[in-house]
Amino acid sequence: MAEIDHIVLGARTLEEGAAFVEQHFGVKPQPGGQHEGAGTHNMLLGLGPDCYLEIIAADPSQPEPPHPRLFDLDDPGVKTMLEAEPRLLAWVARTTAMDALMARLGPRGGEVREMRRGDLHWRMALPPQRQDLDNLIPPMIEWKGERAGKRLRDSHFRLVELLAEHPEADAVKAALAERGLGEALVVKRGAHPRLVARLRGPEGRDVTLTSG
């Protein structure tokens, strides 16, 4: 079984990301922590019991990591985009059967990394470089023990729609289907790759986040 675990908002700095969320949602995100060895840190906003919004940025207190930072945070184009304002960068899907999934996908599944933040522990499978169809194919996460989202206060916002647009929409659909995510989001053909998340809060207040 695979399903949406969380959506990812990238920011030039964590402070800018937190201010953006408070401005648009009217709610302060909670402190997260450092991803030691990965060169990033985060804050989190609970979207109910099974989903959350992660705000992520490069952590200036850590040395340069051995691998590129997640979600293309080191990419010059992404850095330029985030100088203007925080943006939706990606989404992450949850599985409880990582080994079986990777055996089925083979090289297409990418590299599996062990990651930690404090006492949280998870494995994440990253699609091979440039095979994620512009971040529309998600990293797969398998939590070892309690999930991060279970610890978060409820913001009373909910993710009501996740939409992907891509010139190669059929390729996106096929890659999602082989990961068991065929029903996770709407995929449409579009001139440019784009991820759109629509969230609904108290009294029907809508917030839309987009990657472009």
CATH homologous superfamily of 2-154 equals 2,3-Dihydroxybiphenyl 1,2-Dioxygenase, domain 1 (3.10.180.10)
List pLDDT tens digits, range 160-187. Answer: 999 999 999 999 999 999 999 988 999 9
Write down the pLDDT at residue 2: 87
Q: What pLDDT does 187 receive?
A: 97
CA distances from 198 to 67, 93, 157, 207 (A): 31, 17, 10, 6
Using a cut of 0.85, tell me whether the model's pTM lies above it.
yes
Using CA atoms, how far residue 193 sits from 108, 162, 163, in Å, is 20, 14, 11
pLDDT, one tens digit per residue, over 17-66 is 999 999 999 999 999 999 988 999 999 999 998 999 999 999 999 999 99
Each residue's pLDDT tens digit, 184-212 = 999 999 999 999 999 999 888 899 999 98
